[in-house]
Structure 1
Amino acid sequence: MDLSVRSGAGADGAGSEAELVAGFLARHRLPGLVDVHTHFMPERVLRKVWAYFDSAGPLTGVEWPIRYREEEDRRLARLREFGVVAFTSMLYPHKAGMAEWLNGWAADFAARTPDCLHTATFFPEPGAGDYVRRAIEDGARIFKAHVQVGAYDPADPLLDPVWGALAEAGVPVVTHCGSGPAPGKHTGPEPMARVLARHPRLPLVVAHLGMPEYGEFLDLAERYPEVRLDTTMAFTDFSERQAPFPREELGRLRDLGDRVLLGSDFPNIPYPYVHQLAAIERLGLGEEWVRAVCHGNGAALFRLV
């Protein structure tokens, strides 16, 4: 069934789009959605991120209208109207000296937003291992790393204590390490493969399914049992035009169904939220696969049930 991928779906408020999402939840007997890739960050940082998208900067290179350019309270209400029962505040530094400040903001945000999974981040800098351990002790349940924006090698020795702390604590880290939408000096599977060789128990969540190096990141997931992938923007019409998921890999994706997590990139997406769900559903990988991806795997990972 088409959930509607029309650009106007939900344009007059969340009502009509919320109804479409509700239909998806009912059709798949889902108690809600667990979205591991949503962005909340300090307003002045978020405004700069939006300005970058508006300028079609070099890491995007295409027109990218922000669909949910709204105040924070309205964005939170949107997710709840869409039946999202747990989400994240993905945030990331682009230079040294930012991460601890961002982590302080994220801890406060999680404290006042019970359905947000306490999120933290880091940068390759002296003391990164120390503040990551403190964030874990303070209750961080998920981390974000953005190799592309940070322009750093994930195998940088300064990050060794970070990856080690995350592996030891079993705290997942959503990492934008694929080369989409534009390659960087340290993107692609090889740098993360070097990290995993040193930290094989690292709970790595590969953002965007590793777009566009889908097959190589599926290889890593098959090799390392703690590697997962999130669906963020994958399979959507927007991404399929630029980096189509190879249909010959659908069998492997189905077989890894217990390690694929729903991600959306809300609010920084150029289409309605419901389109991500439609894109997942139309893969035809089966009812149980959809249920696991959209709720069960995330609920298990974060012990929500």
Structure 2
Amino acid sequence: MPGGSGRQTGDGTPGDGTAGVGGLLAGGPGDGVPADAADVTRFWRRLGLPGLVDVHTHFMPDRVLRKVWDYFDGLGPLTGGVEWPITYRADEDERLAVIRAFGVRAFTAMLYPHKPGMAEWLNSWAVGFARRTPDCLHTATLFPEPGVERYVGEALDAGARVFKAHVQVGAYDPGDPLLDPAWGALAEAGVPVVMHCGSGPSPGKHTGPGPIAHVLARHPRLRLVVAHMGMPEYEDFLDLAERYEEVRLDTTMAFTDFAERLAPFPDRARDRLAGLGDRVLLGSDFPNIPYPYAHQLHALERLGLGDAWLRAVCWENGARLFAIDP
């Protein structure tokens, strides 16, 4: 989710736009563990889990990620005018050390293009990243452009296990005919697509449940993972999940103090959330979050849906979807 730097983190603690938890690694880069790792590990150990599966984390080519951070810092139009510091702003090696110290056993490299000609290059980078980062689920992306069917097929052949689509940033209609063969190939392969298709924090021309509903009508077996629980159109995306058995939702930023101020999750929908407990997946938006990683976990816990629900969301559902052996 887009964001920017500011003077206060999402949970009300001071932040300076860099490491809002007082430094990422105790003892300095490459030494020790993250200052907030104990809070995260206490959470999953209490549940008896082997760790966490986080389906929504961002790793990109360095110059691309830094441009993303610059956009966040500049409060670009897609941020919705909201300021937040990037808590885990650091070099790639340090970010990897942090997320591993949290006990995240499998994570993603959510990368996305904002213009034609970019997706294939990002996919090439992702192949190398996946090879040198075995705990990262090989991630690929796509854009409505000539050749998309070819390079999606090549990414699948190269071992891509999850795709990222960002309708808001890419400003495209997911129902664009150019994408239709790609959605068909992904549905046939059973490879999930994590898609930012909700209208938060700032609506786009093609965000909201309508455009992606048209895609699902054509490809009902598409393994769609709705990012951010579809914020702010939560109930509309719950409708889609109840209608299509392969639709899932990730928790990224949802239920946190930060998100609740912007787009509160409706209390009346909590029972529906409980009923879809086998299709809700942990997502965090690491590193681009304005609060400590543990806050997302505690936000899920305070929903009061029980430990079995938390175990499913934080490990079991992701492990089943991606065949992860604990």
1: distance between equivalents of 2:235 and 2:44?
29
SS in 2 for 1:44: helix
4+ residue segments displaced more than 6 Å: none
Specify the alignment match of 2:269 in structure 1.
249
Aligned to 2:22: 11
Contact 2:137–2:162 under 8 Å retained in 1: yes
Q: C-alpha separation between the residues in 1 aligned to 2:98 and 2:278?
A: 27
**Matched residue of 1:197: which SS?**
helix
Instruction: Quote the Cα distance in structure 2 between the aligned partners of 1:68 and 1:10.
Output: 8
Q: Deviations over 1:25-61 (max 9, x none)?
A: 1211111000000000001100110001001111111
Q: Deviations over 1:204-254 (max 9, x none)?
A: 000000000000000000000000000000000000000000011000000
Q: CA deviation at 1:11?
A: 1.8
> C-alpha deviations, 1:244-284, integer Å up to 9, x for none?
00011000000000000000000011111110001011100
Find the residue that maps to 1:62 and give its secondary structure. Answer: coil
Classify the secondary structure of the residue corresponding to 1:241: helix
Determine the structure 1 residue equivalent to 2:251.
231
**Equivalent position amino acid for 2:13 in 1:** S
1:47 maps to 2:66: yes
Counterpart amino acid of residue 108 in structure 1: G
Gaps of 5+ in 2: 1-10, 15-19, 26-33
| Correspondence 1:50-129 to 2 at 5 A | 50-60=69-79, 61-129=81-149
Identity of matched residues, %: 73
Counterparts in 2 of 1:94-243, with a 5 A limit?
94-243=114-263
- TM-score scaled by length of structure 1: 0.97
Question: Are the aligned partners of 2:24 and 2:88 in contact in 1 as well (CA < 8 Å)?
Answer: no
8 A Cα contact 1:56 1:64, kept in partner? no
Given that 2:21 and 2:87 are in contact with CA atoms closer than 8 Å, whether structure 1 keeps it comes out as: no
Q: Give the Cα separation in 2 of the matches to 1:57 and 1:134.
A: 33
Q: Contact 2:225/2:249 (CA < 8 Å) preserved in 1? A: yes
Is the 2:87–2:291 Cα contact (8 Å) retained in structure 1? yes
Q: Measure, in 2, the Cα distance between the counterparts of 1:92 and 1:39.
A: 10
Q: Tell me if the contact between 1:7 and 1:272 (Cα under 8 Å) persists in the aligned partners.
A: no
Instruction: Write the distance in 2 (CA, Å) between the matches of 1:150 and 1:54.
Output: 19
Gaps of 5+ in 1: none
Matches within 5 A, 1:290-305: 290-305=310-325
SS in 2 for 1:86: strand
Q: 2: distance between equivalents of 1:101 and 1:7?
A: 38
Letter paired with 2:44: L
Q: Secondary structure at the match of 2:77?
A: coil
Look up the equivalent residue of 1:85 and give its one-letter code.
R
Cα distance in 1 for residues equivalent to 2:135 and 2:46: 24
TM norm structure 2: 0.91
Q: Give the superposition deviation at 1:130.
A: 1.0
Alignment check: 8 A CA contact 1:10 1:18 kept: no
Contact 1:172–1:203 (Cα < 8 Å) also in 2: yes
One-letter identity of the residue aligned with 1:18: A
Which stretch of structure 1 is more off in the superposition, 11-20 or 74-83?
A: 11-20
